[in-house]
A and B are shown apart, each in its own frame.
Chain A
Amino acid sequence: AQSVTQLGSHVSVSEGALVLLRCNYSSSVPPYLFWYVQYPNQGLQLLLKYTTGATLVKGINGFEAEFKKSETSFHLTKPSAHMSDAAEYFCAVRGSGGYQKVTFGTGTKLQVIP
């Protein structure tokens, strides 16, 4: 069984401020973790993923996330928000070992205030 909890359905930050979107997961097997972004009227796009190896992963557009097994977390951060970061962000988990079912969180809408 696997699940994802995203804390905060809406997050507002000022342009240039730190972006922190929270994600906690549950998985009965070692997890693979993902962050996707969805811009209005566009499809989901993969930002970054953790499968194995280094726990700090870097993605596109300056985003990064750290896998913390002890905290069952995979929070997404970006040092300085840009207006173009305004979108909806989804955290997702799937089990390792050949499982293909991906479970998504309910999403966090990021608003960037000029």
Chain B
Amino acid sequence: DTGVSQDPRHKITKRGQNVTFRCDPISEHNRLYWYRQTLGQGPEFLTYFQNEAQLEKSRLLSDRFSAERPKGSFSTLEIQRTEQGDSAMYLCASSLDGDTQYFGPGTRLTVL
């Protein structure tokens, strides 16, 4: 059990560029979650996968955001046409039972 990993850990991009983040969950965890955390706030739920199916999406996930989990293992979160307001920490978590979520270290995105 190596824990949840996220890549990259830091990303600096210019406004208007596309970015993609990767999350590798704990092996055999069939549930995967994405959150966004801004300074001084708690994590905000973005989306949830069970295996490869995306079952819940927050209204925070605008049409510029897309998430996939093609084979039910790793997941990617893509942000198109980034805006300064997208600057945040993007967190991934995985779970086996749906109650205990194990969080990764996060990807910090800075949009200039």
Interface of A toward B, CB cutoff 8 Å: 4, 9, 32, 36, 42-46, 49, 51, 90, 92, 99-107
Contact = CB atoms under 8 A, between A and B. Distances in A.
A90 B103 CA distance: 13
- Interface size of B as a range: 20 to 34
Interface of B: 4, 31, 33, 35, 40-45, 48, 50, 55-56, 58, 91, 93, 98-106
A104 B42 contact: yes
Given A43-B106, A45-B103, A51-B99, A100 B40 contact: no
Shortest beta-carbon contacts, A-B, top 8 = A104-B42, A44-B103, A43-B103, A100-B48, A101-B45, A43-B105, A104-B43, A90-B42
Contacts of A45: 103
Contacts of A102: 33, 43, 45, 101
Contacts of B35: 104
Contact of A100 (B44, B56, B91, B105): B56
Nearest to B31: A100
Contacts of B103: 36, 43-45
18 contacts: A42-B105, A43-B104, A43-B106, A44-B93, A45-B103, A46-B101, A49-B99, A51-B99, A90-B42, A90-B43, A100-B31, A100-B33, A100-B98, A101-B58, A102-B33, A102-B101, A106-B40, A106-B42
Given A102-B43, A105-B42, 18 more contacts: A4-B42, A9-B40, A36-B103, A42-B105, A44-B91, A45-B103, A46-B101, A46-B102, A49-B100, A90-B43, A100-B48, A100-B55, A101-B58, A102-B45, A104-B42, A104-B44, A107-B41, A107-B42
A12 to B, nearest CB: 18
A32 B99 CA distance: 8
Contacts of B104: 43
A46 B101 CA distance: 7
A54 B91 CA distance: 31
